[in-house]
């Protein structure tokens, strides 16, 4: 499934970097606007899955854009700001932003935040051949038997189950594990995969649900 992300940023170089990083993931398409007064009509016509919204924009500032979007839409919004003093307002209930990122930022951090917000926004259970993940209830099960997963294991399983057979690199999985983009050794993924495999095998022995792809990473195999 491909998610459409609207990038609203008046600095072309920043907008291009964000677009490139998101589209390199293979599951996002992007569109860029440079003015705040163009956003509402574009969102109404094109129904993006998420909006990356800079605070300082010509035509209409990000705060006002966010307020106007919230009048008619529940599209997830991540605000981008260099003004730390605005953070409380950005996350205020009266504004309705789902998250914020402070400049300067790492593009990989933005990708991780986008994934996390979209994951929270979907809230839909996914079931493939007896393996189910229900993010709204934080429940996972295999053949009807509950799996006792840590939050990191849950995030890994949810990512793998979203696209069975797709190979994810350790770096991609690490971004899913830690939405706050903490610095960790990417081999931490191996440890969490090992624990997840053990819990799946306890329910269905002899079945390799998560395959290693040498030199690349992991994928979910469902038969």
pLDDT digits (tens, 9 = 90+) for 13-37: 999 999 999 999 888 999 999 999 9
At residue 87 the predicted structure's pLDDT band, cuts being 50, 70 and 90, is: low
Q: What is the dihedral sign for C-alpha 187, 189, 192, 197? A: negative
Helices (H) and strands (E) in the chain, counts: 8, 12
Confidence class for position 86, pLDDT limits 50, 70, 90: low
CB 120: neighbour CB atoms within 10 A? Answer: 14
- pLDDT, residue 147, reads 96
Q: What mean pLDDT is predicted for residues 167-172?
A: 82
pLDDT tens sequence across 39-78: 999 999 999 999 999 999 999 999 899 989 988 888 999 9
Q: What is the pLDDT averaged over residues 151-160?
A: 88
Q: In what order do the strands lie in the sheet with 145-146?
A: 126-128, 131-134, 139-142, 145-146
Neighbouring C-beta atoms of residue 216, cutoff 10 Å: 11
Give the mean pLDDT of the chain: 86
DSSP 3-state assignment of 186? coil
Question: Is the whole-model pTM more than 0.75?
Answer: no
pLDDT band at 92 (very low <50, low <70, confident <90, very high): very low
Out of 83-92, 98-107, 153-162, which region has the weakest mean confidence (pLDDT)? 83-92
Q: Tell which wins on pLDDT, 92 or 14.
A: 14
Domains of the chain and CATH, by start: 3-120 (3.40.50.2300), 123-220 (1.10.10.10)
Mean pLDDT of 75-89: 77
């Amino acid at each position: 499934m491909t998610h459409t992300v609207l990038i609203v940023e008046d600095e072309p170089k920043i907008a291009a970097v964000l677009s490139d990083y998101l589209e390199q993931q293979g599951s996002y398409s992007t569109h860029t606007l440079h003015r705040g007064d163009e956003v509402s009509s574009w969102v109404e016509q094109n129904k993006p899955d998420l909006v990356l919204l800079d605070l300082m924009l010509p035509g209409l500032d990000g705060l006002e854009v966010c307020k106007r979007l919230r009048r008619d839409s529940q599209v997830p919004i991540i605000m981008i700001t260099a003004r730390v003093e605005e953070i409380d307002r950005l996350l205020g209930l009266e504004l309705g932003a789902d998250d914020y990122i402070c400049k300067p930022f790492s593009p990989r951090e933005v990708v991780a935040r986008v994934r996390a917000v979209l994951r929270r926004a979907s809230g839909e259970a996914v079931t493939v051949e007896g393996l189910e993940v229900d993010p709204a209830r934080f429940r996972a099960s295999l053949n009807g038997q509950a799996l006792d997963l840590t939050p990191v294991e849950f995030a890994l399983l949810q990512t793998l189950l979203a696209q069975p057979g797709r190979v994810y690199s350790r770096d991609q999985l690490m971004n899913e594990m830690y939405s706050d983009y903490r610095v960790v050794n990417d081999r931490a993924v191996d440890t969490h995969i090992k624990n997840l495999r053990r819990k799946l095998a306890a329910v269905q022995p002899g079945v390799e649900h998560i395959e290693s792809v040498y030199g690349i990473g992991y994928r979910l195999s469902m038969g």
